[in-house]
Amino acid sequence: MKHQYSIDELKHREALMQIRLEEEQAKQQKLAEHKMAFVEHLNGPFLFDSMYSDDVEGNKLSYLPGVGELLEAYRQICHHLPEHFRVWPESARKAKD
């Protein structure tokens, strides 16, 4: 019975390692697709934050009524930018072939 627990523990660890490996491969695949579309590392707040952080006039505008909602909408657009260009890698591959 003692050995059965060891075998079960090993199987469990192998399954966890396999899941982590698959997740890492999916992440690398997505990064490769984003690189093909020239939007790598832009699937987060980086693009919006980098454009808006040093914008003195933009910061002043943020105090106007209704601008906060517009900024949030634009932040969401920037966050999902790579999804808008998802078809580019396929087009680039077809043009390359």
Predicted pLDDT of residue 89? 54
Phi, then psi, of 65 in degrees rounded to 5: -65, 135
N-to-C CA span, the chain? 58
| Mean pLDDT, the chain, integer | 79
Number of compact structural domains in the chain? 1
Question: What integer is the mean pLDDT of 2-15?
Answer: 86
| Residue type for position 30 | K
Give the pLDDT confidence of 42-88 residue by residue, as tens digits.
767 777 777 777 888 888 888 889 988 988 888 888 777 766 665 55
Nearest alpha carbon to residue 43 among 88, 79, 84, 89: 79
Q: Is the pTM of this model over 0.85?
A: no
Task: Give yes or no for residue 14 having a pLDDT over 60.
Answer: yes
Structural domain boundaries, residue 60: 2-96
Q: Record the tokens describing residue 86, joined without a space.
A: 């998802």
Residue 39 near residue 77, CB atoms below 8 Å = no
